Structures are given as structure tokens and as C-alpha cells.
Structure 1
């Protein structure tokens, strides 16, 4: 049972101040807002909420501030263009940024609803379309719009990628309707209510979520429980037997928890072992669920495998979010997290490292499992993007390289020797 899932409310209470680090009065609801729009933050105003976003919407409404309406009626021309894009939703070159603009910021609602309808899930599971739309709107609202990267557009991008993987031959002929439902739900909610900072940040600032989940998969546990809260609040599956609902919630959690990047090697090693033994049987429910986990992991970090014009935007967005966290850590005199110091890191450096040590190993194994045109296309884009960032880094380094005076021949010889011989070595 998920006993700690609570119905969201504006009424909260102060976070408990435990541990060796003092609680920092950082309001995650406005963390990535522009400085001019963020007033002074009082620790007394920070509430323990299942959703930071819902409180922000409520507080804006109480102050008479206009909020974005996710059900805003679109201009007919834009609606037509968005519908045309959805006809090619299975294309790997799908421009999610354009689609989000055409849907007036409602890409997650429109794309996910379309996929549910396309797979016939609404009819198969006898879903109330009003409840489904209400659920998707709440999901979209609970992503932090001000986050440069972990926002509803990222969730839409992951959902579209997940759809591409679900259509791959090995999966399309093996997955059940329940697998498809869970795969799309997990993709849409996998980063729900993400505060725009890392797990290590929550731990070292003694945030209540870190204490609640005992410093283990803190964000992923929160995303899962937030998703369950919305499912229950919307009543989307209220017509199903209790046992089926609870089982669905557990499997949803298993998928979302698999996106914890700190467990990357664990899942990758298991995947390699299955592929080496050639013992994956998609007729087995457990094996199908594991492949769904791997598909979601791929979808979550597939940005480096997209075309350059899309991949570059995502790279800049995630780095912007990293650097903003680093700025907050410096402001509060905390140790700056890896990759979060804008003075010592660059977009290119971060991306090349990420591609080399995280993305490439995962997608090489996925290509072993699904040797298709899509898997080869993704690896092709990955290689091109990696070369693109390497080229940009070389240009930047050449531009800032200090000019030196020509050295004498003797100086050149000494310089060459000093590069060849390790420190402390003797010349032969």
C-alpha cells in the first residue's frame, strides 16, 4: 500500500529540521524564476506539499495574478498544424519544441491523449475521457514550467520517444495493452513535480523529501508517489478492482524508479547479461517489464541521439539548470555539485562526458537488442553530435589559447623532453 500518498492541499506545515545541515529556506516553486519576479523567501512560507506547483497556482490566483490556462482554446490554424504533426508522431525527427508552441504549451496533454486514443486504450480500459483529460492536465500543471529542462516539454519528449520504442518490431508484437498503458503513463509522469535540483542538493539541504525517502532515489520516489496521487485524485482507474489498481501503481513505480541515473550500471549490467545469454523471452511478463524499464531509461536520456538542432537545445537547457543549481549552492556557501559550476564547466565538456560514459554504453546495448533502422539512426546521430561538440570545444580552446613567443631550438628540445618523460624519470 502507498500509505504516504496524500491528497494535495494548500494547508501544509513546516519541514522538520534534522541532520547536521541547517534547513535552507529555498522555495522550489520559484527556484528557476527570473530574479525580478522572485521576492524574499521566508522559511515559514515553505510548505510540505505533494506538489510544489499546485500551491504556486493557488497563491497566484489568490493574488489576482493571471496563470497559464492549459485548456486555452487554440487558434484553428495552429490546431490544424498540430494535428498534422501528430500524424507523424512516430518520426524520430519529431520537433517537440515546435509542437509545444503549436499547442500553446499543452504538448503533454495533447500528445499523450492522442497516443492513448491511437492505441485504443480509452476503450480497452473503459476510461472516462473527461477524467483522462483532467488527469493529463493535472500532470502537465505539476511540471515546473520555470525549469529549463525538467519540465512538461521534457516529459512530452520522453513520451514521444517511448512511443517510438513501443513501435519497434520486438516490442510491438509482444507487449500487452497493459504494458502499453504503463509505458506511456510512466513516460508522461517520470519527472512529475521535479524541483529543478538534484538528489544530492536535496540531501545536503536537509529537504524533507530526502528524509522521507531516506536519501534513496529521492526524486524518483517523489515522481512516482506524485503520479499515484494524481491517479487517485482524478479517479481515472476508480472503476477497476482495487487489486488491479494497486498492482498498476506498483508497476508504474518500478518503471519510474528505473530512471534513477545512480542505478545506471546496475540496469546496464543486467541488460548485457541477458543479451549475452540470449535468454530474453518477451512472452515472460517479468522480461517484458524489464524491457519497458530499459526503454524508459533510453527515452529519458535520448536527447544526444536526436538531430543536432533538437539535441543542442536540450543540452543547453539541462546545462542551464545545472549551473543555476551551482549558483544557488555558491550563494548558500555549499559545496558545488559536480557539473554545476559554470566557471569550470561548459556545455560541450558536460555533453561529451555524458555521451561517452552514460548514453553510448546504454544505446549500444539497446541496438544489440533492437537491431533496427531506428537504433542505427540513434547511434548515428549520437556520433555526429559528439563530433559537433568536440569541434566546438576545439574552436573555443583555439580562440582563448594565449599567444607565445617563438622558442629557440634548444627550448623546443627541452620542452619536448619534458612532455615525453614522466616526472621524476631519468634520461637514458
Structure 2
């Protein structure tokens, strides 16, 4: 992969020894960097230039992209409460969900259980609760019907068919964002506007995610890649989709136009910060601020930057959760990678890094992700906010990394026992003596370089 990625030019500068940048590049390739203005996405105006990723999954796809939703006759009345009631299973489940919301600030909050207790409406229920808990509905004079409709539409525009990038992930990120905003440094500094913006950005940060990554969209000449000139393609789409729903519901229509414009711009700034290809840029800037000790949370621009870093942490905090939660997320994100790889194989495309289920494993992908992406970020976050929560997250990540390492070792041992040729070669009994056998014919595992 070093040779392949060194031939490309993008947002990150690195040499072959920079394994962190290489791993980040494997997760989200950006080939062209350019400034993209705010151009609204036109429904149904962009033809599919090559592969339509929505039709490639083996299971039936029930929805179109959000900006094409009006083509569905069944969605003409979308967002109206009578069309999409939030049925709770029974009073016992409702009561348990309410009990969980009393502990929504706990780091071991089980979002999977909460989603079951709310009958798949974890994002709506959680976001509404947090907005109400902070008093933001009353403070910003939000119309309850418009707010409810907006949240219903946000949850609806996440793809439930995605193993990872779905509404439950958005709810999990929103809960993590809430935990970070409750940290002492932020709790005493953030304004109500900051909190509203942070919660909305967390809830919408992956809106309408297609379940494939940016390199896939670029190499298939997808119209989204063309629209955003191969630059933060998914993040731009999430942002514009969120703005579209805000405008459609008129959630902030009672505000002055300049305030609405500022809200949309700041929302985009937070969502665009989640682009993994810009990880090193944000991390370097964060580290420089901490080294120079010049972060001032009385400054609106510095508070906004910390919100960006908090959202970045919330977006990739899965390795920092307790093992029973972290493991589920790891398996889900890896399955989404592998599904993309299956599509690429089916259509004779080059399989993206980390997406080949035959040469990668959950453990190796997670160990690489923790080493090159999560650990550097959360180490700096702990420097900024040296609290019990930060130490808890680092502790969980260390234990989770060790657990994946142990599982990988068990798999490797089992593989060697099942393949006597490998064991013999390892002992030196047959190395270089078996004619017609090369190292390429021996299973090599899936270590991330």
C-alpha cells in the first residue's frame, strides 16, 4: 500500500515511514483538494455516472437518497406524526427507557439496549431529551411540531441497512458528545448556542451515509464525488442534507436570516471536521494549542475548535467504550467495510484497503485503527481535559486493544495448528526445501502495514 498511496497527492503530506498518515489515508482517500462553495443539491438532477451503490447490496433497498425522497409516493406526507408514529413496545419498555435517560451522561450507556427499548427510535428520543434537558427548546423558541418533524426526518434519512453508519451510530455519537460537553472545562464555558450546535451536529454528522467510503464514490465516478470535486464528499453531503432538512421543516424560520445562515455555516464546520483524511491537520493544530497553552474558551473561535475536536472524538470513540459495547461496534464497522469489498469484487473493481474479508480481520483492523488514529487523538484530548472520563476512555482503549491482540493470537495459533506446513516452516524443517512452494502460498494473515 505504501507504493500505491505515495503515488497519490492529497490533503496529507507524509513519507513511507509515516504509518499514522498512511492508515488514515487507507480509511479515507482524498485525491483532489479544492474549495467548494455552498451549492444546493438538486433533487434528481445528477445522473448516475457509473455504479449506483444503492442497488448493489444483496438485500432490497427501501429508500432513495434524501434529496430524491419526493420521488417516492409513500413519502409525500413524510414527517407528519400521523404518518410515522413512534410506537413504543409497552409501558415496561417505556419505563426502562426513561430510567436509562436518567443516566444518559454515563460513559457505559448502552445505546443498543436503549434503541431496543425505544423500538428503534434511539436518535429521536435521545436528541429530543437532551435538547429539552438543556432548556434549548424554550430558550430558542423552537416549535415543538417542527422539532419533532425534523428529528423524525433525520432518523429516517439514516440508512437502517448500513451495519454501522446508521441512526444508532448517530445516537451513540450524540450521547458521547453530551458526555464531553459535561466535562468541567466545557460545561462552564459553552454557550447555549454552542450546545445546540454540538447536539445538532452530532445527530446529523453522518446523515444519509451510503455505506461506502469516499474512495469508492471517486473511483466509480459517482455524482456526489463530481458535485463536491472529490473533496470531503461524504461530509459535504451530510452537511447539505442536514441543512436541507432544517430548511424543509422551518425549524429556525423564526430567526433572522443572518442567524440562520450562521447556524448553517457553523453546523457545516463541525460536520466537515469529521473527515478522517484531515485527522492530522486537526490533531497538529490541537497539539500546538496545548503545547503553547493558548486555548481560551472565552473566545468563540476557540470554543468552536474544541467543539470540532469533541465531535471528532465522539465520532470515533468506539474503541474507548467498555469491551461489550466496543466489540459490537468493531464488528459492525468491519462488516460494512467487507460489504463494500464484496461489491467491488462483484464489479471487478480494485478492492479498497481494509475492505477484503479474505485478507483482513476485525482484530487487525481495530488494532491498526487504535494505534494510528484513536490513541493519538484521545491522548491529546486527555491533555486538554484531564478528568476521570478521559482516563476511563484511555483505560478502556488499552484493554480493548489487548483483547483484540489476544484474540488475534488465538486465531493465529489455531491457523498454525490447522496447517502443518506453516508450523513446519516456522520450525525451520521445510523452509527452502519444498519444491513448488512459495511463501505466497502460505496463509499470511492480515497485518496492517
TM-score range for the pair, normalised by the shorter chain length = 0.7 to 0.9
Match of 1:393 in 2: 408
Q: 1:114 to 1:176 in 2, by over 3 A?
A: same
Corresponding position: 1:183 with 2:175: no
Corresponding position: 1:166 with 2:181: yes
Partners of 2:70 and 2:76 within 8 A in 1: no
Q: 1:217 to 1:38 in 2, by over 3 A?
A: closer
Distance in 1 of aligned mates of 2:242 and 2:174: 15
Superposed displacement of residue 411, structure 1: 6.2
SS of 2:253 mapped into structure 1? coil
Distance in 2 of aligned mates of 1:79 and 1:413: 64
Partners of 1:5 and 1:228 within 8 A in 2: no
Say which is worse superposed, 161-170 or 69-78, in terms of deviation. 69-78
Corresponding position: 1:107 with 2:129: no
Distance in 1 of aligned mates of 2:428 and 2:257: 83
Q: Which of 82, 87, 91 is residue 76 of structure 1 equivalent to?
A: 91
Q: How does 1:296-315 map to 2 (within 5 A)?
A: 296-315=311-330
Match of 2:33 in 1: none
Q: 1:203 to 1:410 in 2, by over 3 A?
A: closer
Question: How many residue pairs were aligned?
Answer: 389
Distance in 2 of aligned mates of 1:56 and 1:105: 25
Partners of 1:6 and 1:50 within 8 A in 2: no
Q: Which of 288, 295, 304 is residue 310 of structure 2 equivalent to?
A: 295
Partners of 1:7 and 1:233 within 8 A in 2: no
Corresponding position: 1:378 with 2:389: no
Q: Which of 403, 409, 413 is residue 420 of structure 2 equivalent to?
A: 403
Q: 1:57 to 1:147 in 2, by over 3 A?
A: farther
Partners of 1:7 and 1:229 within 8 A in 2: no
Distance in 1 of aligned mates of 2:372 and 2:312: 15
After TM superposition, where is structure 1 displaced by more than 4 Å over at least 4 residues in a row?
55-62, 404-407, 409-415
Distance in 2 of aligned mates of 1:229 and 1:116: 20
Corresponding position: 1:140 with 2:172: no
Q: 1:58 to 1:375 in 2, by over 3 A?
A: farther
Q: How does 1:33-112 map to 2 (within 5 A)?
A: 35=58, 37=60, 50-51=66-67, 54=69, 58=73, 69=84, 71-112=86-127
Superposed displacement of residue 346, structure 1: 0.3
Partners of 1:366 and 1:375 within 8 A in 2: yes
Distance in 2 of aligned mates of 1:192 and 1:279: 34
Match of 1:4 in 2: 39
Match of 1:20 in 2: none
Match of 1:65 in 2: none
Distance in 2 of aligned mates of 1:398 and 1:359: 28
Q: How does 1:329-408 map to 2 (within 5 A)?
A: 329-401=344-416, 402-403=419-420
**Structure 2, gaps ≥5 residues long:** 1-35, 78-82, 434-449
Q: TM-score, structure 1 length as denominator?
A: 0.85
Distance in 2 of aligned mates of 1:149 and 1:50: 18
Match of 2:267 in 1: 252
Corresponding position: 1:218 with 2:250: no
Match of 1:127 in 2: 142
Q: 1:175 to 1:414 in 2, by over 3 A?
A: same
Distance in 1 of aligned mates of 2:70 and 2:285: 41
Partners of 1:31 and 1:196 within 8 A in 2: no
Q: TM-score, structure 2 length as denominator?
A: 0.82
Match of 2:47 in 1: 15
Match of 1:236 in 2: 251
Q: 1:371 to 1:106 in 2, by over 3 A?
A: same
Match of 1:155 in 2: 170
Structure number with larger C-alpha Rg? 1
Q: 1:97 to 1:16 in 2, by over 3 A?
A: closer
Q: 1:344 to 1:412 in 2, by over 3 A?
A: closer
Match of 1:277 in 2: 292
Distance in 2 of aligned mates of 1:255 and 1:125: 20
Q: 1:55 to 1:339 in 2, by over 3 A?
A: farther
Distance in 2 of aligned mates of 1:175 and 1:88: 21
Q: RMSD of aligned C-alpha atoms?
A: 2.6
Distance in 2 of aligned mates of 1:317 and 1:70: 28
Q: Higher relative contact order by CA 8 Å / sep ≥ 6: 1 or 2?
A: 2
Distance in 2 of aligned mates of 1:200 and 1:6: 20
Superposed displacement of residue 130, structure 1: 1.0
SS of 1:143 mapped into structure 2? coil
Superposed displacement of residue 57, structure 1: 6.3
Say which is worse superposed, 200-209 or 398-407, in terms of deviation. 398-407
Distance in 2 of aligned mates of 1:36 and 1:288: 44
**Structure 1, gaps ≥5 residues long:** 18-22, 40-45, 63-67, 416-428
Q: 1:370 to 1:260 in 2, by over 3 A?
A: same
SS of 2:355 mapped into structure 1? coil
Superposed displacement of residue 37, structure 1: 3.5
